[in-house]
Amino acid sequence: MTLAVSENGLAFAWPFVKSGQKYSIPVQMPFHSKIVISRVSCGYNFGFFISIQGLVYAVGKDNSDGQLGLGHRYPNDIPEIVGCFKEAGERIDSIECGFRHSVARSTLGKVYTWGWNGHGQLGNGNFDSELSPRLITIERA
d(CA 18, CA 27): 9
Model pTM above 0.85:
yes
Position 141 in a domain: no
Residue 17 predicted with pLDDT over 80: no
Look at the chain and report how many structural domains it folds into.
Answer: 1
What strand order describes the sheet that includes 56-60? 37-42, 46-51, 56-60, 76-81
Can you give the residue range of the structural domain that contains 51? 2-136
pLDDT digits (tens, 9 = 90+) for 28-84: 999 999 999 999 999 999 999 999 999 999 999 999 999 999 999 999 989 999 999
Position 132 in a domain: yes
The continuous run of DSSP H or E covering 86 comes out as: helix 83-87
Position 129 in a domain: yes
pLDDT digits (tens, 9 = 90+) for 78-134: 999 999 999 999 999 999 999 999 999 999 999 999 999 999 999 999 999 999 999
| CATH number of the domain within which 26 lies | 2.130.10.30
